[in-house]
Structure 1
Amino acid sequence: MSIDLEKAPFTGEAGEDEGWLYVARAELVLARPDHRQLTAAALDPDPLQLMASACAHADAELGEEVQLVVDLVPVSGPRVARRRRLLLRHAQQRGPSAFGEQLASADGAGPGGRWWSNAAGGLNAGGWGRGQGTGRVSRASDLAAGVGKFLPVADAQVFAVQVLLRAVAPHPAQAEGLLHRVMAVMDAWSGENWWRPRGPRFGAWHPYSDVWWLRRSFDRRFETGEFAPSRRQWVTGREIAALLKPPSVHCAASNVVRTGGVVPAAPAQLPEWTGQPGVVPLGLVTGPDGRERLGAVPQEDVLFGAGLGRSGFGKSELALLQALTLAYGGFGVWFLDPHGAAVQRALPYLTHPALKDRVLLIDVSVKDPLARIGAWNPLSMEGREAHQVQEVVGAVVGGLASAQGWGDRAPRARAILSHAVQVLAHLALLMCEQGCPDLQPTLFSITRLLTDEEWRTEILKQLPKRLSRFWQQTFPQYEAGAVPVVTQMLEQLETSDSLRAFLGQPRSTYDVRAAMDENKIVLLRCSGSGSGDQIITSLLLFDLFLAGLSREGVEQEDLETMFAFADELTAIDGASRGYVAAILEQLRKYEVRLMGLTQMVMRLSEETRQALMQNQSLLTATGADHNEAAFVAKRLDGIAPEVLEQLAKYQYVASTMLDGERTTPFRVRGVAVHQALADYYRPDLMPTLNEAIDRNLKRRPVGEVLRVLDGDEDQLPGLENAILTHLKNLTPTQTPTIEQSEVA
């Protein structure tokens, strides 16, 4: 082994010879004439497993590397035919042989004259040697012995080949060792022929292509790609195919870069995203032309979407990018984030003057009494009429029952809750009619109504007498244990100051139906409130569902589109008790489009999973375990589960509807929000955005809201006591009669 004196500087650790790298070179040539066949290496086990194992001994941190370069040039058919005829002539001169011994000719006319004439005639379709007699027909084995692997078969593509091997290491012995390891790999192709290194051999010293008269030619070909093998050597495609293919599934080496399986290119008609409105961005895609671009789907083709895959692999990042893009495009956005991380990341991108007046932030995780919060009173009758009381009852009872998963299993609790909400809705209507909307009851008034008989009696005095019938005749018949079933869920809400402040204000400032119609950007964070997380999530999701249904009767062209994003859909589905499926099944016609994201689609409820898979028009999947991958792969035609299992972070396989037709799955490389929307990131304008949100939602400090709700010892009586005082002060002329209430 010689030492190359022209070394590249090396900055890593290299032992005693720090800063020097040593190169070992070898050109591999065929040991026997090239018509002798190499063994076509099998695919199982994959011969590249040996190559990967040899390369694993190279320490990249020390600058070690091994490179095997295989250059191929196709050989034309006429050249192969000429080569075949030459081989036949040489074989004719030698005569036939068997077991290594030459045989006499069949007719004595020279060494194998007639026999080889027939062989040549067979190879050339009778074009040569025709009319020279009718000898015996040549055997296939005789032909193979004469021309070797260059038999005239249709699929035998022939290539001229040049094989260069180069190893680099901080020590010459290490470089030589790496070189020999890879040379040993080439033994997998040994058969009638085999690969051997070119170069002189001096006893135990084998310098190969490192000798001075070979080194310059080797380096020139290695660096420039020049094809100038030391001698002619032809191989067939079958012989060399195993060396040219990428590693297969049978190559289990850990140091192999995986392609992630076969995934088709993105459709040529997939729009390129350049920032234009009206599209839902996907990320970087590669089209049939090989050009990488930012792909997007027209928003009219996206009715519902599903993002599936492991935590931390980019589902939320993609959803956040889509939500922000749609918001800038003028669409309404409703983003429910149980954990709040995505919401906090989104805010600095929404400070643009064109957007800030549309932003509504509901964060029930706040702990500071000075933190500001909006208001939502599901019992509010402000702006409503008497006949809408039943809508309020249905919404509140449905939401609370859904959160508790009552279904048909708690008829007494549902009956008690329904009548309680009915009474409080009528009370809220009365307060609005009296010009006192600030004295409307809230959800927390349900507990007072059920447990304080004096308060309930005074309330019922002011309401139509038909509402008292249940409380006077039926309610006393229920056993004592029926009431706690209702009150315990409200007591869970009362454990969170932020939830009490959000739900305990008489006048609502959050109206999801208005947000739909006015293209608002609604960001909701529903975690951090303790045991009330699931209840508030269920209430908000049910409210979205009812708001969508309330659009019935509106002309389709008058409906504004709202995209609703539900991150961590598994947790939300558990709280929604079936209303996610209802949204997926019923709200498309009302222009409410849900995009659901989940780590484990198999953990969704059966009805939600079926509705999501049936109705999704945009499916993106990233890394998953075997069971999840097997389920999702069935929805991605032609994609093996192993492809999804091997996807790296921020890599997706997507399938979408495009112009009314489902596309074949294609690969997407994720783009981070801070890359795509860098020009819109303005954290310095957050104070301005917070002021705008305060105006949009009329937010008030949590501490101030609670003081009004609970009262204090000095001045404030508390909301429910204030309601009672107001009712006691009503004159008989101010108290509505049954007929007046019903007419109202």
Structure 2
Amino acid sequence: MKSDRRRSDPTLMLSILAGALCLAAWRALSNVEPDQAFSIIKSLAPVAIGSIGLASALATQRFLSTRRALGSRRAVAVVPADEFEVSIETVLRAAAQLSRSDRAVRGWMCRRASAIRFTLDSDPEGRVVYLIESREDQMDLVRSTLRAYEGIEIRRADEVRPARQAGTGVTMRTELVLARPSVEPLARLELDPDPLQPFAAAMAGLQPGEHASVHIDLLPAAGHRRARLTRHLARQVRRLGIDQVGISERLGLNSKPRRSDPATLAERRGLGRGLDAKLRDGGAIFEAQILIRTRAESRVRASATMTNLLAAFESLGDRNWLRASGVPIPGLAFLGSDLPGRRRRFDRRVNTGLFRPARRNIVAAREIAGFLKPPTIYLSDENVLRSGAMLSPPPDLPALGDEPDLIPIGRTSAEEGERIAGVRTADTFFTYVTGRSRFGKTELAICQFLHLVRSGQGGLFLDPHEDAIERMKPYLTDPNVSDRIVEIDLGPGASEQQPGWNIFELGGPEAGEAEGRIEAVVDAFASALQWGERSTRAINLTAQSAMALTAISRALPAELCPTIFQLPTLLSDSTWRKATLPFMPRAAQRFWMDRFPRLAEEAITPLTNMVDRLRASAAVTTLLGASRSSYRIREAMDRGQIVLACPGSGGTRDRLLANLIVFDLLHAAKTRANVPPSERRPFWVFLDEVQTYDGAVSGNLAALLEQSAKYGIRAVLLNQNPERLTSATLQALTTNRSHLIATALNSKAANLITREWGGRPDPAALTRLPRYRFIAQVTDRGNASEPFALGGISIQDLFGPGVPKPIQGAVETRTPTEALAHLETLDDRILDALRAVRKTGQVADTAELEPADSAGYVPLRVEGDRR
């Protein structure tokens, strides 16, 4: 067998031929006279100079093209679902598609920058992150190829692999090359178990501050380059001893077979099977560069991680295997990539993606199939970054900016890359966003609200915590935006200047407006104090009090209109109450004359105590103590104003303020019934912590939300847990929703949401979602999508840095001093005005107030009513 190899080795013949050519050239030059030689050199000088210049220009162009291409390289993270799996046929098809990137224009110029990199990296938590990197002009092909893998997400690399500071520890480097000629194949591993399993196990041992990465750079070979690599493999076959007949048959050439001894035939069959595996059944062919780098505080730790990663590559060994590039000195050292003279070149290749391996390594896709796909379900280690449950691909939503009237919904992945997608305003009526605090739902709402109001829409953002409003203000300073702003700031650092808002002020003679104000007050108190069906006495007393104040407001000038702070006066001052009776309807008069005196003294306590708590705050008094309003929600709707409201996130008082704002808005929307539908300007309402406004057991919020959509209200409701909503409100939201978006929830809440999606995905997927990741179902062109993965967005993503400036505002404000001075004498001035109006005869005379005899009367109490 050895003699046969020597006979088939062309090295000796090539050496003899080279020697003969050199001898012939020497003899020819020795016969040339010196004068003739000089003239020949002189005549060839321009050709030589031109050739050198052309070669230099090409070399310079190639250097610059390679440098530009290296600078344009981009990486994306491919995050698999928990149930992700893929067949070997799919992997080979994906590899064949990637090999087509070799046919790019001017590919020769930047070929060393054209490798497609597959990286196993470790994030700061020690999880395995799978990334793909390529030139920017190749990225479209990469993304198109990844669509063959169902159940993956494409994310930005910096999202899952934050930039690391330069380490001060020990870094170890290893480059792997094929130990045998490339024609001999590596092992053909199956995908179950996952070939990436040992790599995940090796990275599982990383400690905080340590890092490890494995880079598989594949340079595609298609067309004439594949043919050249095939010829290279054929030469290796001949050097290894496969005779001309065997290789000719495999390459489709005609040749007559010859007889060989059995040992040679056995060797030939083994090598032939390897060649078949490489050229026929191995799929696409690539040139490979494999780089490994580890970093730790000590050499012992870095070396241990490197050893584990090298051991993970042992599973690829067959007739060929991978070894570290370098020269071993037995018993002393190994001169590899960590030599001082080689470290810089190694790090440059790792950092830039430059393809310049230590030796040519030709591999087939089948040999490295385990690295051409992300970790699958068959990789059992927990330290792998995954996206959660298997989800449908995102719907074909338009990119933000491609069409008018879009609302940003989040980041989606498509063939053209990750982009911020939008949903159409025509498809948006109710949006419900739920999930844990600090997981990105409020950030999403901020982005949507800013996009809408900066586009000319009107809206209200109710933020109990004030943080969201403070973050929005620098983006609302443009003159055409800031002059539409109405700010109600009742948070901990509330401004002394507040607009005036009188909920009992009536803007016209319509009976519907007065009824709406009454219902708004009743609903607000019922929700804030959580009155239910057994709280009939408290509800009726609130309604009668609100009706009385709205009745007298019609008879008084605007500067004397009663405010919410006249409720205690009405309930506790019989003289003042007697003066209001002539202005009430007959049925209301009978209540105050006959039934009210029979109520127990503590019946008025819930109302009077609540109003007293409102008046204890200077900011609240400034807002609600104005007889004439400068803030009117109906005007805000019709004029497209921007209302920023922070009622505070404290106790019952703050809940009452929030509910007054919400229910005043919803009832005011119903007064637009007399406006033609085409003229009802949309008004976008964002309610954070929506359970705050859903305290009434009767389901008032649900009913109003269902009715208000027809009057131009578009609502975005947010809270941390759907279980905190009443059953009626949750059913109203899920039934009429346009979009349902959820981030991480507890298991019970996750079951509630996934039931609305028909049981998909597994509720456990919602419990494991990371920050700024959502599962969403949206409406697009009237059709509900399947649940899909959605990435979060930030203000900076859409608008860049803000411009902090003072906001002038759309309405007049006033100080607490002015408000207190007005309220101090308002009761007396109203009483005098009512008496004056009665003396003029503008109202019918009413009998003297004669309270019903309450001696021995025991007020009727409903069981469970403690109000």
| TM-score normalised by L of structure 2 | 0.63
Is it true that 1:667 corresponds to 2:790 in the alignment? yes
Q: Which residue, out of 167, 177, 195, partners 1:27?
A: 177
Q: Match of 1:49, as an amino acid?
A: A
Farther off after superposition, 665-674 or 155-164: 155-164
Is the 2:189–2:195 Cα contact (8 Å) retained in structure 1? no
Q: Which residue, out of 667, 681, 691, partners 2:803?
A: 681
Matches of 2:681 and 2:688, distance apart in 1: 23
Q: Which residue, out of 246, 258, 264, partners 2:374?
A: 246
Matches of 1:623 and 1:482, distance apart in 2: 44
Is the 1:570–1:600 Cα contact (8 Å) retained in structure 2? no
Q: Match of 2:565, as an amino acid?
A: F
Is the 2:214–2:293 Cα contact (8 Å) retained in structure 1? yes
Write out per-residue CA displacement over residues 162-192 of structure 1, whole angstroms, 9 at most, x where no aligned residue.
4634446699877765543322222344678
Matches of 1:286 and 1:28, distance apart in 2: 37
Using the TM superposition, give the Cα deviation of residue 568 of structure 1 relative to its aligned residue in structure 2, in angstroms: 2.3
Q: Which residue of 1 aligns with 2:712?
A: 591
Is it true that 1:69 corresponds to 2:216 in the alignment? yes
Using the TM superposition, give the Cα deviation of residue 593 of structure 1 relative to its aligned residue in structure 2, in angstroms: 0.2
Closer, same or farther: CA 721–198 of 1 in aligned 2, 3 Å: closer
Closer, same or farther: CA 532–59 of 1 in aligned 2, 3 Å: closer
Is it true that 1:303 corresponds to 2:429 in the alignment? yes
Farther off after superposition, 376-385 or 156-165: 156-165
Using the TM superposition, give the Cα deviation of residue 361 of structure 1 relative to its aligned residue in structure 2, in angstroms: 1.4
Q: Which residue of 1 aligns with 2:102?
A: none
Using the TM superposition, give the Cα deviation of residue 557 of structure 1 relative to its aligned residue in structure 2, in angstroms: 0.9
Using the TM superposition, give the Cα deviation of residue 515 of structure 1 relative to its aligned residue in structure 2, in angstroms: 1.4
Q: Which residue, out of 745, 753, 778, partners 1:656?
A: 778
Root-mean-square deviation (CA, aligned residues, Å) is 5.0
Q: Which residue of 1 aligns with 2:312?
A: 185
Matches of 1:645 and 1:387, distance apart in 2: 46
Using the TM superposition, give the Cα deviation of residue 603 of structure 1 relative to its aligned residue in structure 2, in angstroms: 2.8
Is the 1:377–1:443 Cα contact (8 Å) retained in structure 2? yes
Q: Which residue of 1 aligns with 2:520?
A: 395
The 5 A counterparts of 1:245-644 are 245-248=373-376, 250=379, 252=381, 254=383, 267-268=395-396, 270-273=398-401, 278-282=405-409, 284-290=411-417, 292-365=418-491, 371-384=496-509, 389-431=514-556, 436-460=557-581, 467-527=588-648, 530-574=651-695, 578-624=699-745, 628=749, 631-632=752-753
Q: Which residue of 2 aligns with 1:105?
A: none
Matches of 2:746 and 2:189, distance apart in 1: 38
Closer, same or farther: CA 378–660 of 1 in aligned 2, 3 Å: same
Matches of 1:171 and 1:393, distance apart in 2: 74
Closer, same or farther: CA 555–453 of 1 in aligned 2, 3 Å: same
Matches of 2:399 and 2:413, distance apart in 1: 12
Q: Match of 1:316, as an amino acid?
A: T
Is the 1:27–1:208 Cα contact (8 Å) retained in structure 2? no
Q: Residue 460 of structure 2: SS of its match in structure 1?
A: strand
The 5 A counterparts of 1:105-116 are none
Closer, same or farther: CA 572–422 of 1 in aligned 2, 3 Å: closer
Gaps of 5+ in 1: 1-9, 16-20, 94-120, 130-142, 712-717, 740-744
Q: Which residue of 1 aligns with 2:54?
A: none
Using the TM superposition, give the Cα deviation of residue 595 of structure 1 relative to its aligned residue in structure 2, in angstroms: 0.8
Matches of 1:12 and 1:403, distance apart in 2: 55
Using the TM superposition, give the Cα deviation of residue 229 of structure 1 relative to its aligned residue in structure 2, in angstroms: 8.6
Write out per-residue CA displacement over residues 640-689 of structure 1, whole angstroms, 9 at most, x where no aligned residue.
667655655445454432322334535335132586154x7241x43xx1
Is the 2:444–2:792 Cα contact (8 Å) retained in structure 1? no
Q: Which residue of 2 aligns with 1:111?
A: none
Q: Match of 1:700, as an amino acid?
A: R
Q: Match of 1:516, as an amino acid?
A: M
Matches of 1:162 and 1:738, distance apart in 2: 102
Q: Residue 47 of structure 1: SS of its match in structure 2?
A: helix
Q: Residue 281 of structure 1: SS of its match in structure 2?
A: strand
Q: Residue 369 of structure 2: SS of its match in structure 1?
A: helix
Farther off after superposition, 464-473 or 310-319: 464-473
Matches of 2:197 and 2:748, distance apart in 1: 27
Using the TM superposition, give the Cα deviation of residue 382 of structure 1 relative to its aligned residue in structure 2, in angstroms: 4.8
Matches of 1:175 and 1:148, distance apart in 2: 36
Matches of 2:375 and 2:589, distance apart in 1: 79
Q: Match of 2:203, as an amino acid?
A: A
Once the two structures are aligned, what percentage of the paired residues are identical?
A: 27
The 5 A counterparts of 1:104-143 are none
Q: Which residue of 2 aligns with 1:700?
A: 814
Closer, same or farther: CA 53–204 of 1 in aligned 2, 3 Å: farther
Closer, same or farther: CA 403–654 of 1 in aligned 2, 3 Å: same
Is the 2:183–2:274 Cα contact (8 Å) retained in structure 1? no
Q: Match of 2:481, as an amino acid?
A: L
Q: Residue 419 of structure 1: SS of its match in structure 2?
A: helix
Is the 2:443–2:795 Cα contact (8 Å) retained in structure 1? yes
Q: Match of 1:558, as an amino acid?
A: E
Q: Which residue of 1 aligns with 2:194?
A: 43
Q: Residue 384 of structure 1: SS of its match in structure 2?
A: coil
Closer, same or farther: CA 552–495 of 1 in aligned 2, 3 Å: same
Gaps of 5+ in 2: 1-164, 244-248, 257-268, 847-867
Matches of 2:454 and 2:582, distance apart in 1: 52
Matches of 2:290 and 2:840, distance apart in 1: 105
Using the TM superposition, give the Cα deviation of residue 546 of structure 1 relative to its aligned residue in structure 2, in angstroms: 1.0
| TM-score normalised by L of structure 1 | 0.73
Is the 1:335–1:565 Cα contact (8 Å) retained in structure 2? yes
Using the TM superposition, give the Cα deviation of residue 413 of structure 1 relative to its aligned residue in structure 2, in angstroms: 2.3
Farther off after superposition, 626-635 or 449-458: 626-635
Write out per-residue CA displacement over residues 6-53 of structure 1, whole angstroms, 9 at most, x where no aligned residue.
xxxx975469xxxxx775544353699946845547139923323424
Farther off after superposition, 472-481 or 155-164: 155-164
Using the TM superposition, give the Cα deviation of residue 514 of structure 1 relative to its aligned residue in structure 2, in angstroms: 1.8
Farther off after superposition, 308-317 or 159-168: 159-168
Closer, same or farther: CA 72–632 of 1 in aligned 2, 3 Å: farther
Using the TM superposition, give the Cα deviation of residue 701 of structure 1 relative to its aligned residue in structure 2, in angstroms: 1.0
Closer, same or farther: CA 577–77 of 1 in aligned 2, 3 Å: farther
Matches of 1:366 and 1:51, distance apart in 2: 52
Write out per-residue CA displacement over residues 350-374 of structure 1, whole angstroms, 9 at most, x where no aligned residue.
3332233322112233777x81222
Matches of 1:453 and 1:231, distance apart in 2: 102
Is the 2:387–2:769 Cα contact (8 Å) retained in structure 1? no
Matches of 2:520 and 2:292, distance apart in 1: 74
Closer, same or farther: CA 545–32 of 1 in aligned 2, 3 Å: closer
Farther off after superposition, 521-530 or 22-31: 22-31
Is the 2:459–2:641 Cα contact (8 Å) retained in structure 1? yes
Matches of 1:540 and 1:40, distance apart in 2: 63
Using the TM superposition, give the Cα deviation of residue 411 of structure 1 relative to its aligned residue in structure 2, in angstroms: 2.0
Using the TM superposition, give the Cα deviation of residue 534 of structure 1 relative to its aligned residue in structure 2, in angstroms: 1.0
Is the 2:410–2:790 Cα contact (8 Å) retained in structure 1? no
Q: Residue 552 of structure 1: SS of its match in structure 2?
A: helix
Matches of 1:160 and 1:537, distance apart in 2: 65
Matches of 1:277 and 1:426, distance apart in 2: 46
Matches of 1:339 and 1:577, distance apart in 2: 27
Closer, same or farther: CA 35–510 of 1 in aligned 2, 3 Å: closer
Using the TM superposition, give the Cα deviation of residue 395 of structure 1 relative to its aligned residue in structure 2, in angstroms: 3.3
Matches of 1:199 and 1:461, distance apart in 2: 105
